[in-house]
Structure 1
Amino acid sequence: MTKYIRHAAAFCVLLLVALLVNALRVQVFQAGPYDGSTANRRATIARYGQPRGDILVGGEPVTGSRDTGEQLRYERTYNDGPLYAPITGFASQEYGTTLLEHAEDGVLAGTDPLLAPFPLWSDLTRGLPPGGKVVTTIDPAAQRAAYVGLAGRKGAVAAIEPATGRILALVSAPSYDPAELSGNRPATKAAWERLNRDPDKPMLNRAVRQTYPPGSTFKVVTAAAALDAGVVTDMDAQTDSPDPYTLPGTRTWLTNEGDGCQDASLREAFKWSCNTVFAKLGVDVGARDMVGTAQAFGFNDTGVRIPFSAATSTFDTSVDRAQLALSSIGQYNTRATPLQMAMVAAAVANGGRLRPPYLVERTTSRDGGTVSTAGSRPARQVMQPATAERMRELMTDVVEDGTGTNAAIPGATVGGKTGTAQHGLGNSGIPYAWFVSWAQGEQDPEPKVAVAVVVEDASANRGEISGGGDAAPIARDVMRAVLSG
C-alpha cells in the first residue's frame, strides 16, 4: 500500500513541477507576445482605470479626466480645447495620442518608472502609480492674444523667450476641440472622420508641422550672412544693385514691389524689403556661406523636438546662382515653420546666440514632487555679436519707419521684418503674410520675446500684406501680452 502512495505522491509532484514549468514559460518566456496581443485588454483597461495626469499652463490645468463608469473608465477632457490643441494634442481611447499627450504619455498615464517609488512592487502587482503632471512654458496671455489675433483665419503664431528658448505661445488656426476625440462612442468616430475630411486641416499643427516659403522674412538670414562674411561692411553704403536684377545665367528679371531699390544701401533695402538687393547679396555671399548661416539658424535640422517633433525647415544645399538668388529672398525651395522663423528673430534679439526652443518646464508626480526638469539648453553662436547688434538696428528701423510700423508698442523697443511669400502654380495664390519680430520693454535688460506670425488667407491687397497689415498687428498683441506679464 505504501508503494502505491509513493507512486501517487511522485506523480502529484511531477504534475506540480509541470504546472510550475508551464507557468514559468507563460509568465517569463511568452509574456511579451501575450502582453502585446490584441486580445489582451488588461493593459488598456488599467491605462484608463485611473485619471490621467494633467498638462498645466500658467500653473493651471488645461486638461482633466471624466469618470464614465464604463470598462475604459476615465475619458480625457480639455479646458479651452481649441486654444491649447497645438500644445496638448489629443489623448483618445480610439485613436491614440499626439503632441504633448504623446511625448509625455509615460508621465501622464503613470507608466513612467520614475513615478513608481517601488518599481519592483509595481511590476509584481501590475498596478500603476497615479499619473503625473506636465508643466509647460506657455504664457496664457500670449497664447490667447495670438489665438484672438488670428480670429479664425488660417495661419499660425510661435513665440519664444530669446534668452532661454522657452516657448511662450504656439497657436494654429483653424483649430479643433480635442475632447471630441477622447472617447470611443460613435460620435468620436464621426468627429474623427469630419476633422480629417475638412479641407482647412484643423488638426494640422501649422506652428511646428507646416512649412511655408518664408518670403522676405528670410532676408534677416541673408543680411546676417552678408555682414558676417564681410560682403557688407557699411550698412549705409550703396550696394551696386540694379533694378530690375537679371538672375545669373538666365534672362529672367527680378523686380521689386516699390521704387527706390536701385543701388539701395543695406539699411534702406532691409527697411523697404528690396528683392533685387538681397537676391544679389545672396549670390555675392555664395552658396557655402549662405548654407552655413541658414543651417546655424536651424534650417535643415531634422532633429528638432520640443519635445514632440517639428517639421524640418529647409534651405537647398545644391543650387545654381539663379536658384541661390531666389533662395536668398525666401523663395525657390526655402521653407520654414513659424517656430523656425521665431528662432531666427530670437537669435538676433539674443546677441547672435540661439537657444534651442522647449515647451516643457518640468514634470512632476501627482503630489508635486519633481520627476524631471528641462531648463534652457546650451546656446550656439549663429552670427557674430557685432552682426547681431547691427541686425537689431536694422529690424528696429523697420518698425520705427519702415514696412512694420503696425508692430510698434509705445514705451518698448521693437524690431521686425515683414514678408510676402509667393506660392501656388505660377505664384497664382494669394501671398502668405509673414512677420517676425522681437520686443524689449523699457525696464527690461534684454528682449523678452521673439515672435513669428504667418497668415495664409491674408488680404488680397499685396500692398497691405508687404506693409505688415495682416501679420504685424498679431505679433504686436502677442509681444505686448508678454511685456505686460
Structure 2
Amino acid sequence: MTRYIRHAAAFCALLLIALLVNATRVQVVQSGHFDDNPANRRQAIARFGQPRGDIMVEGRAVTGSQDTGEQLRYERTYKNGPLYAPVTGYASQVYGTTFLENAEDDILSGTDPMLAPLPLWNDISRAQNPGGKVRTTIRAAAQQAAYAGLGGKKGAVAAIEPSTGKILALVSTPSYDPERLSGTSGSVARSWAALNASADKPMLNRAIRQTYPPGSTFKVVTAAAALDAGTVTDLDAATKSPSPYTLPGTSTQLTNEVDGCTNATLRYAFEWSCNTVFAKLGADTGLGDMLGTARNFGFNDSGLKIPSSVAASNFDTAMDDAQLALSSIGQYDTRATPLQMAMVSAAVANGGQVESPHLVDETTTDDGDVVENTGNHSLHQAMNPATAMQLRELMTGVVEEGTGSNAAIPDVTVGGKTGTAQHGIDNSGTPYAWFISWAQKSGEAQPSVAVAVVVEDAAADRGDISGGGSAAPIAKAVMEAVLDGP
C-alpha cells in the first residue's frame, strides 16, 4: 500500500511541476505573444487608462488628454492642432501614432523603463508610470510666422539653428487637426476617410516626407563642390560659360531667364542665377566631386531621423555629363526635402559643418526629472571653412543685390538663394518657388537661423525671381520671429 501512495505522490508532484512549467511558459516565454495579440484588449485599456504625457513648445503643452469615461478612457487633445500637426503627428485609439507621438511613444505613454523610480521596478510591481513629457526645440513665434506666411497654400517651411541643429520651425500646409482622429466614434472613421481622400493631402508632412526638385537653390551645393575642387578659384573672374549652353553629348541647349550670363563671374551667376554657368560648372567639376559634396550636405541619407524618419533627398550616383549638368541646377532627378535644403543653408552659416537636425531638446518624467537630453551632434563637414565663407559672401549678395531682396532685414546680415523648380511633362506644371536663407544679427558671432521655404502653387513666372517673390517673404518673417525672440 505504501508503494502505491509513493507512486501517487510522485505522479501528483510531476503534475504540479508540469503546471508550474506551463505557467512559466505562458507568463514568461509567451507573454509577448499574448500581450501583442489583437484579441487582448488589456494592453489598449491600460494604455488609454491614464492621461498621455504632453509635447511641449517653449515650456507650454500643445497636447492634452480628455477623460471620456469610456473603456479606452483618455482621448488625445491638441492645442492649435493644424499649426503643430507636422511636429506632433496624431495619437489615435484606432489609427495608431505618427511623428513625435510615434517616435516618443514610450515616454508619452509611460511605458519607457527610464521613467520608473528604480531599475526593474515596473517588472516587479507591475505598476504603470505616468506619461512623461517631450520638450521640443520649436520656437512658437517662428512656427506661427511660417504657418501664417504659407497661408494655406501647398508648401512647407523648415528652420534650423545652424550651430546646434535644433529645428526651430517645421510647418506643412494645408494642414489638419489631429484631434479629429482621437477616440473611437464613427466621426473618427469619417474624418480618416476624408483626410486620406483629400486632393490636398493634409496629412502629408511636406517638410520632411515630401521631396521636390530644388531648382536653383541647389546651386549652393554646386558652388561648394566647384570651389572645393578648384574648378573655380576666383569669385570675380570671368567663367568660360556660353549662353545658351549645349548640354554635353546632346544638341539640347540650356538658356537663362536673365541677361548677362555669357562668361559671367561666379558672383554674378550666383546673384542672378545663371543656369548655363552652373550647369557647365557641375559638368566640369565631375560626378565624383559633385556626389561627394552632395552626400556631405546630407543627400542620399536614408537613415536621418529627427527623431521621426525623414525622406531621403536624392542626387543620382550614376549620370552622364548632360544629366550631371541638369542635376547641378537642381533639375533632372535631383530631389530634396525642405529640411534638407535648410541643412544646406545652415551648413553655409555654420562654417561648412552640418549639425544633426533634431526636434526634441529633452524628455522628462511627469514631474520634470530629465530622462534624456538629445544634445548636439555633427554629421559631416560639407565643405572647407574657407569655401563656406565665400558662399556666405555670395548668398549675402543675392539678398543685397540680386534676386532675394525681399528677404532683406534692416540691421541684419541676411544670405539667401532663390529657386524655381520646373516640373511636369515638358515643364508644363506651375513651378515650385524656393527660397533658402540664413540671418545674423549685428554684433553676434554667428547666424542664429537658417530657413528653407517651398511653395508648390506659386503664381509666378518661370524665372528664379519667383522664389524671391513667393517664398522669400515667408523666410523673412520666420527669420525675424527667431531674431526677435529670446
TM range (shorter): over 0.9
Higher deviation after alignment, 211-220 or 460-469? 460-469
Deviation by residue 1:160-204 (Cα, 9 ceiling, x = unmatched): 000111000000000000000111111000000000000110000
Identity over aligned pairs, percent: 71
Deviation by residue 1:443-462 (Cα, 9 ceiling, x = unmatched): 32110000000000001433
**Aligned pair in 2 of structure 1 residues 342, 467: CA closer, same or farther (>3 Å)?**
closer
Q: Distance in 2 between matches of 1:340 and 1:377?
A: 16
Q: Distance in 2 between matches of 1:314 and 1:5?
A: 78
**Aligned pair in 2 of structure 1 residues 33, 467: CA closer, same or farther (>3 Å)?**
closer
**Aligned pair in 2 of structure 1 residues 465, 197: CA closer, same or farther (>3 Å)?**
farther
Q: Which residue of 1 aligns with 2:353?
A: 353
Higher deviation after alignment, 9-18 or 319-328? 9-18
Q: Which residue of 2 aligns with 1:368?
A: 368
Higher deviation after alignment, 453-462 or 97-106? 453-462
Q: Distance in 2 between matches of 1:369 and 1:227?
A: 48
Shift of 1:321: 0.5
Shift of 1:12: 6.5
SS at match of 1:468: helix
Q: Which residue of 2 aligns with 1:342?
A: 342
Q: Distance in 2 between matches of 1:113 and 1:435?
A: 43
User: What does 1:265-344 correspond to in 2, within 5 Å?
Assistant: 265-344=265-344
Deviation by residue 1:266-306 (Cα, 9 ceiling, x = unmatched): 00000000000000100111111111111110111111110
Shift of 1:101: 0.5
Q: Which residue of 1 aligns with 2:98?
A: 98
Coordinate RMSD, CA, aligned: 1.8
Deviation by residue 1:379-426 (Cα, 9 ceiling, x = unmatched): 532111111111000000000010000000001000000000001111
Report how many residues are paired. Answer: 485
SS at match of 1:462: coil
Q: Which residue of 2 aligns with 1:77?
A: 77
Q: Is the 8 A contact 2:159 2:169 kept in 1?
A: yes
Q: Distance in 2 between matches of 1:11 and 1:230?
A: 87
Higher deviation after alignment, 124-133 or 473-482? 124-133
Q: Which residue of 2 aligns with 1:432?
A: 432
Shift of 1:240: 1.3
Which amino acid in the other structure matches residue 419 of structure 2?
A: G
Q: Is the 8 A contact 2:419 2:464 kept in 1?
A: no
Q: Which residue of 2 aligns with 1:242?
A: 242
Q: Distance in 1 between matches of 2:339 and 2:51?
A: 32
**Aligned pair in 2 of structure 1 residues 277, 31: CA closer, same or farther (>3 Å)?**
same
Q: Distance in 1 between matches of 2:125 and 2:209?
A: 40
SS at match of 1:206: coil
User: Any unmatched runs of 5+ in structure 2?
Assistant: none
Shift of 1:226: 1.1
Q: Which residue of 1 aligns with 2:126?
A: 126
User: Any unmatched runs of 5+ in structure 1?
Assistant: none
Q: Which residue of 1 aligns with 2:140?
A: 140
Q: Is the 8 A contact 2:244 2:254 kept in 1?
A: yes
Which amino acid in the other structure matches residue 331 of structure 2?
A: Q
Shift of 1:354: 1.1
Shift of 1:19: 3.8
Higher deviation after alignment, 14-23 or 48-57? 14-23
Shift of 1:137: 0.4
User: What does 1:101-112 correspond to in 2, within 5 Å?
Assistant: 101-112=101-112
Deviation by residue 1:236-288 (Cα, 9 ceiling, x = unmatched): 11101111000010000000011111111000000000000000100111111
**Aligned pair in 2 of structure 1 residues 37, 94: CA closer, same or farther (>3 Å)?**
same
1:215 aligns with 2:215: yes
Q: Distance in 1 between matches of 2:13 and 2:286?
A: 83
Q: Which residue of 2 aligns with 1:27?
A: 27
Q: Which residue of 2 aligns with 1:178?
A: 178
Shift of 1:231: 1.1
Q: Is the 8 A contact 1:458 1:465 kept in 2?
A: no
1:382 aligns with 2:377: no
Q: Which residue of 2 aligns with 1:412?
A: 412
Q: Distance in 2 between matches of 1:365 and 1:241?
A: 60
Q: TM-score, normalised by structure 1?
A: 0.97
Shift of 1:125: 3.8
**Aligned pair in 2 of structure 1 residues 420, 13: CA closer, same or farther (>3 Å)?**
same
SS at match of 1:207: coil
Q: Which residue of 1 aligns with 2:449?
A: 449
Which amino acid in the other structure matches residue 440 of structure 2?
A: Q
Which amino acid in the other structure matches residue 90 of structure 2?
A: F
Shift of 1:16: 4.5
**Aligned pair in 2 of structure 1 residues 247, 464: CA closer, same or farther (>3 Å)?**
closer
Q: Distance in 2 between matches of 1:428 and 1:285?
A: 30
**Aligned pair in 2 of structure 1 residues 3, 429: CA closer, same or farther (>3 Å)?**
same
Q: Distance in 1 between matches of 2:280 and 2:213?
A: 19
Q: Is the 8 A contact 1:107 1:131 kept in 2?
A: yes
Q: Is the 8 A contact 1:459 1:465 kept in 2?
A: no
Q: Which residue of 2 aligns with 1:201?
A: 201
Q: Which residue of 1 aligns with 2:63?
A: 63
User: What does 1:154-173 correspond to in 2, within 5 Å?
Assistant: 154-173=154-173
**Aligned pair in 2 of structure 1 residues 337, 450: CA closer, same or farther (>3 Å)?**
same
Shift of 1:23: 2.1
**Aligned pair in 2 of structure 1 residues 50, 319: CA closer, same or farther (>3 Å)?**
same
Q: Which residue of 1 aligns with 2:41?
A: 41
Q: Which residue of 1 aligns with 2:474?
A: 474
Which amino acid in the other structure matches residue 415 of structure 1?
A: G
